[in-house]
Amino acid sequence: MADISIPVFGGMFDSTMVVDTVNGFPRGDKAVDASFFAKMISSFYSDGVLSGGDYAQNGFRIVSAGGLAVTVSAGIAWIRGYMAWMQTEESFSLRAGHTYTVVLRLNTATGDFHLIASEDAVGEPADTELMRDLVLAEITLPAGCTAVTESMILDTRGDSAKCGFVTCSVEALQTVPFAVNAGAVGGVPEGVLMRKTGGIMLGSLTAAPETTGVSVVRNISYGTVLPDVLSEGEIFILLSE
């Protein structure tokens, strides 16, 4: 019986022939464009503001700059596999008696990003085939006010429905979803885990609670026998002899 073969688009592959020349540069039959790389990157990184690296959790943070002005800090964000990199802070002035929705907008039709403070916005932020907004903050200025205060700024970067912080799917690979009664760590059986060289762990390590109220690890312990049950908030590091 003859095999049935259906071609599936993919890449990246070396081209086997030149199909045309663009601005003096040859284009092969296996060439892919920016949208291909964006789709590839989006399979690893979620949309949102990058919270690590040089910008910690201050990337694209909006704060009062005195009077009716606000400042947006420098930062990196990913939207649909495209990276926005605002290298310096930006400021803009608002008007009392109005509400503002501050968004970072990707426009794939024009191939660019824009920081937009939409005054008294009507309707939902853009989320179409060619355009998508990340809502960075919502600002409400009462009539007659002369200065923007922090209480008037609602930081929405941490709201995954409006913006969110970037997560990486690679971090979720080879992990144990539930610590209770786990027989392996990161998909590795306990018998093949090796002791880390260069240091000796003495006693338990504790982590101080975050001021944001986000749940953190309370206790990190270690040993050569994997416990049957771990309390909520605990991490156990298994050391093999």
pLDDT tens for 131-187 read 999 999 999 999 999 999 999 999 999 999 999 998 876 654 444 444 444 454 445
Whether residue 52 sits in one domain with residue 93: yes
How does DSSP classify residue 69? E
How is 9-53 classified by DSSP, letter by letter? -------SSEEEEETTEEEETT---HHHHHHHHHTTB-SEE--SG
Half-sphere exposure (Cβ direction) of 215: Cα atoms closer than 13 Å: 3
Contact assessment for residue 224 and residue 241, using Cβ atoms and an 8 Å cutoff: yes
Q: Of 146, 169, 192, at which residue does a domain stop?
A: 169
Whether residue 232 sits in one domain with residue 160: no
pLDDT tens for 9-47 read 888 888 889 888 878 888 888 888 889 889 988 888 899
On whether residue 81 sits in a domain, the answer given is: yes
Which of 170, 200, 164, 198 is closest to 186 using CA atoms?
170
Structural domain boundaries, residue 189: 174-241
Whether residue 163 sits in one domain with residue 58: yes
On whether residue 19 sits in a domain, the answer given is: no
Whether residue 161 sits in one domain with residue 187: no
Whether residue 191 sits in one domain with residue 123: no
On whether residue 1 sits in a domain, the answer given is: no
Give the number of domains in the chain.
2
Q: Of 113, 134, 169, at which residue does a domain stop?
A: 169
Q: The whole model's pTM is what? A: 0.65
Could you give the CA distance from residue 35 to residue 33 in angstroms, rounded to a whole number? Answer: 5
Band of pLDDT at residue 240, cut at 50, 70 and 90: low
CATH number of the domain bearing residue 160: 2.60.520.10
On whether residue 15 sits in a domain, the answer given is: no
Could you give the CA distance from residue 64 to residue 18 in angstroms, rounded to a whole number? Answer: 55
- Any idea which of 25-29, 64-68, 140-144, 196-200 has the lowest mean pLDDT? 196-200
Rg of the chain over CA atoms, in angstroms? Answer: 25
Contact assessment for residue 69 and residue 63, using Cβ atoms and an 8 Å cutoff: no
pLDDT at 87 over 70: yes
On whether residue 6 sits in a domain, the answer given is: no
Band of pLDDT at residue 214, cut at 50, 70 and 90: very low
On whether residue 3 sits in a domain, the answer given is: no
pLDDT tens for 112-127 read 999 999 999 888 899 9
On whether residue 62 sits in a domain, the answer given is: yes
